[in-house]
């Protein structure tokens, strides 16, 4: 197991050994990592000692108390900044010095752990730092390999994944503390919301898998003559349950056979995303028209809805990652914010393009053109 | 007794965060008014003056919380404002309100991470309300 080096700087031996005990038994794993990461902990009781250790070898993570007998933690932090040591500093502060914690954060401390902390709080802080280190390393590795990697993307992604986790965690805590009494009935809403957030997270992960498959170029594309009309029909059927739920009717207008050189799965993703949007952003009792126009030199697919539509200023960023239009009408609609960016990337693989026309309150029309 | 309860305006577009934080703050003994968007909060503020406001940073737009804080402070300069956000750790964005300069343009009295523990939040509220 790979190990990260952790240096604990605290003048209270009890805290040092406590942290040591907790972290030596702890390891962090994420679904996207091959193996778990464990921790080697070194303890020191003063800032001066810490600097000696740092000059010799820079640990991956430093847990730094501010109130030390000689040199203060914040001074150690300054030293780390001056030397440009590559390490992540977590300040341990007593609650009263939150202001200091903010200052330390501004000076480059990654985060702070308020004291007293529970083993679980320590573990989650370390988990988040480990993820940060891992992503940073991965970024560097990919950069070295000449691959473009967008740290921004990963940052936003971790935010998108963390938000539902926070929500679920909060609900579990409410249940743990029996804040709504001892009757399980009282927790129905909480359970429903938690399940909804889990579902949203699952959808995000599925979309993400689609996106990474496209971006890595690793997915084996199987381009062959396929019947686009057939794929559209399957997608319309797939949307059956959600269209019934929302009372939206889907009309498919297509010649029986539209043969096009394509990867079946890619077109399924395109249809599924656009049709599900057309339903989600529709009004109750609305309609969706999916029209396939098979021309000699190009294939045109039009997906038109009678939904809530968009303002002009909302459209330019529509195909960007994690962009979701937020307003009064969309606030109860869930989505990963990745669907349209996936669709656009797929269309590009066919040298096609996608355009959108929309009017608030009337609906949106997405038009896809694929050259033959 | 009810009448003397301090009121806290809580604005966040995450329904779950709103629900959970409301529950916490109500247990501290405050009255909570919620809004789930910048625009709804602005409407509320036309007729209501809370004793304190806790605003999410990213709502309709990425800086909704700042704009709302600015507007709130312009109307009620004496109402303490806390901006709550989850963005720092992930995006590397960092904004505290510890320096005088920051305080001038970020119209907030305090900035907190969303993961903050309930008892910490409680203490911060009490500190800002000076009770």
Q: What is the DSSP string of B78-100?
A: TS-EEEEESHHHHH-----S-SH
Whether residue A137 sits in one domain with residue A7:
yes
Whether residue A242 sits in one domain with residue A352:
yes
For chain A, give the percent of residues with pLDDT over 70: 89
- Interface check B7 vs A, CB under 8 A: no
Q: What is the DSSP letter of A70?
A: S
Whether residue A365 sits in one domain with residue A237:
yes
Could you tell me the CATH number of the domain that includes residue A183? 1.10.287.130
Which member of A162, A179, A193 has the closest CB to residue B90? A162
Among residues A161, A181, A216, the one where a domain terminates is A216
Could you tell me the CATH number of the domain that includes residue A23? 3.40.50.2300
Q: Residue B105: its pLDDT value, please?
A: 54
Q: Residue B90: its pLDDT value, please?
A: 42
Q: Which residue of A has its CA nearest to B18?
A: A167
CB contact under 8 A, A98 and B96: no
pLDDT at A270 over 90: yes
pLDDT at B94 over 50: no
CB contact under 8 A, A167 and B111: no
Q: Residue B20: which of A253, A86, A80, A174 has the closest Cα?
A: A174
Q: For the packed helices A119-144 and A151-176, what is the interaxial angle rounded to 10 degrees? A: 160
Whether residue A228 sits in one domain with residue A182:
no
CB contact under 8 A, B39 and A328: yes
Dihedral sign, CA of A239, A241, A243, A249? positive
Give the total number of structural domains in chain A.
Answer: 3
Backbone angles phi, psi at A286, to 5 degrees: -80, -175
Is the Cβ–Cβ distance between A342 and A321 less than 8 Å?
no
All residues at 6 or more sequence positions from A44 whose CB lies less than 8 Å from its CB, including other chains: A7, A8, A9, A16, A50, A53
- Report the run of H or E that residue B58 belongs to, with start and end: none
Among residues A144, A166, A184, the one where a domain terminates is A144
Give the range among A172-181, A211-220, A235-244 with minimum mean pLDDT: A211-220
Whether residue A136 sits in one domain with residue A201:
no
Cα A42 from chain centroid?
33
This prediction's pTM = 0.56
Is the Cβ–Cβ distance between A101 and A93 less than 8 Å?
yes
Whether residue A155 sits in one domain with residue A133:
no
Q: Which residue of A has its CA nearest to B115?
A: A166
Whether residue A211 sits in one domain with residue A230:
no
Give the total number of structural domains in chain B.
Answer: 1
Neighbours of A156 (CB within 10 A): 17
**pLDDT, chain B, mean:** 81
- List, as own/partner pairs, every contact residues A194-199 make where C-beta atoms lie below 8 angstroms and the sequence separation is at least 24, other chains included: A194/A167, A194/A168, A196/A334, A197/A164, A197/A167, A197/A168, A197/B16, A198/A164, A198/A168, A199/A334
Using CB atoms and an 8 Å cut-off, which of residues 334-363 of chain A contact chain B?
none
pLDDT at B53 over 80: yes
Q: Residue A33: its pLDDT value, please?
A: 64
Q: Which residue of A has its CA nearest to B59?
A: A326
pLDDT at A182 over 50: yes
Whether residue A199 sits in one domain with residue A124:
no
Q: Residue B106: its pLDDT value, please?
A: 57
Q: Which parts of A217-349 fold into alpha helices (H)? A: 228-238, 240-245, 264-280, 339-349
Give the tens place of pLDDT for each residue, A184-208: 888 999 999 999 889 888 888 888 8
Could you tell me the CATH number of the domain that includes residue B93? 3.40.50.2300
What's the ipTM? 0.70
Residue to test with chain A: of B56, B113, B115, most A Cβ within 10 A: B115
Q: Residue A151: its pLDDT value, please?
A: 56
Is the Cβ–Cβ distance between A59 and A87 less than 8 Å?
yes
pLDDT at A96 over 70: no
Average of per-residue pLDDT across A64-81: 88
Give the tens place of pLDDT for each residue, B96-120: 444 444 445 556 788 887 877 888 8
Q: Residue B113: its pLDDT value, please?
A: 79
Whether residue A349 sits in one domain with residue A280:
yes
Q: What is the DSSP letter of A28?
A: B
pLDDT at A145 over 80: no
Tokens standing for A113?
Answer: 């752990």
DSSP state letters, A163-214: HHHHHHHHHHHHHHTTTT-S-GGGGHHHHHHHHHHHHHHHHHHHHHHHHHHH
pLDDT at B35 over 80: yes
Whether residue A86 sits in one domain with residue A36:
yes
User: What range defines the domain where residue A24 resides?
Assistant: 2-144
Using CB atoms and an 8 Å cut-off, which of residues 45-104 of chain B contact chain A?
59-61, 86-92, 94, 96-98
Using CB atoms and an 8 Å cut-off, which of residues 103-122 of chain B contact chain A?
111, 114-115, 117, 120
User: What range defines the domain where residue B67 resides?
Assistant: 2-129
- Interface check B27 vs A, CB under 8 A: yes
CB contact under 8 A, B60 and A326: yes
Could you tell me the CATH number of the domain that includes residue A286? 3.30.565.10
Whether residue A343 sits in one domain with residue A258:
yes
Q: Which residue of A has its CA nearest to B90?
A: A155
CB contact under 8 A, A163 and B14: yes
Q: How far is CA A309 from CA A278, A279, A327, A353, in A?
A: 10, 12, 12, 20
- Interface check B127 vs A, CB under 8 A: no
Contacts of A331 in chain B (CB under 8 A): 13, 36-37
Among residues A125, A144, A163, the one where a domain terminates is A144
Of residues A56 and A314, the one with the higher pLDDT is A56
Average of per-residue pLDDT across B6-16: 92
């Amino acid at each position: 197991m790979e190990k990260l080096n952790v240096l604990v700087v605290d003048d209270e031996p009890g805290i040092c050994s406590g942290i040591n005990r907790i972290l030596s038994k702890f390891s962090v794993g994420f679904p996207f990592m091959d193996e778990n990461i464990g921790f080697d902990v070194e303890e020191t009781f003063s800032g001066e000692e810490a600097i000696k250790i740092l000059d010799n070898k820079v640990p991956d993570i430093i847990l730094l108390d501010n109130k030390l007998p000689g040199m203060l933690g914040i001074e150690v932090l300054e030293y780390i900044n001056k030397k440009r040591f590559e390490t992540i500093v977590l300040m341990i502060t007593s609650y009263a010095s939150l202001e200091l914690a903010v200052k330390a954060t501004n000076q480059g401390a990654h985060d702070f752990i308020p004291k007293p902390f529970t083993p679980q709080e320590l573990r989650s802080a370390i988990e988040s730092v480990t993820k940060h280190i891992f992503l940073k390393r991965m970024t560097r590795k990919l950069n070295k390999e000449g691959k473009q990697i967008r740290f921004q993307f990963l940052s936003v992604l971790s935010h998108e994944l963390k938000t539902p986790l926070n929500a679920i965690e909060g609900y579990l805590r409410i249940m743990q503390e029996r804040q709504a009494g001892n009757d399980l009935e009282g927790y129905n809403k909480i359970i429903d919301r938690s399940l909804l957030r889990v579902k949203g997270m699952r959808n995000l992960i599925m979309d993400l898998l689609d996106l990474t498959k496209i971006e890595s170029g690793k997915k084996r594309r199987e381009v062959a003559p396929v019947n686009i009309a057939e794929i559209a029909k399957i997608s319309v059927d797939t949307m059956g349950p959600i269209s019934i739920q929302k009372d939206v009717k889907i009309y498919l207008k297509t010649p029986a056979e539209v043969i096009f050189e394509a990867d079946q799965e890619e077109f399924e993703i395109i249809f599924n995303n656009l049709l599900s949007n057309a339903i989600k952003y529709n009004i109750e009792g609305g309609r969706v028209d999916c029209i396939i126009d098979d021309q000699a030199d190009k294939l045109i697919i039009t997906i038109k809805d009678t939904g809530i539509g968009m303002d002009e200023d909302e459209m330019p960023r529509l195909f960007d990652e994690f962009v979701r239009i937020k307003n009064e009408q969309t606030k109860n609609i869930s989505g990963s914010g990745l669907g349209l960016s996936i669709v656009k990337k797929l269309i590009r693989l066919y040298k096609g393009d996608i355009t959108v026309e929309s009017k608030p309150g009337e609906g949106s029309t997405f038009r896809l053109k694929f050259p033959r | 007794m009810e009448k003397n309860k301090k009121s806290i305006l809580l604005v966040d577009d995450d329904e779950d965060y709103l629900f959970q934080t409301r529950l916490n703050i109500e247990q501290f003994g405050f009255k909570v008014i919620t809004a789930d968007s910048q625009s709804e909060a602005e409407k509320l503020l036309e007729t209501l003056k809370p004793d304190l406001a806790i605003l999410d940073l990213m709502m309709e737009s990425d800086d909704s919380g700042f704009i709302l804080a600015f507007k709130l402070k312009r109307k009620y300069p004496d109402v303490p404002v806390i901006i709550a956000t989850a963005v720092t750790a992930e995006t590397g964005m960092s904004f505290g309100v510890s320096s005088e300069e920051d305080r001038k343009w970020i119209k907030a009295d305090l900035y907190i991470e969303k993961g903050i523990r309930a008892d910490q939040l409680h203490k911060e509220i009490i500190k800002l309300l000076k009770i």
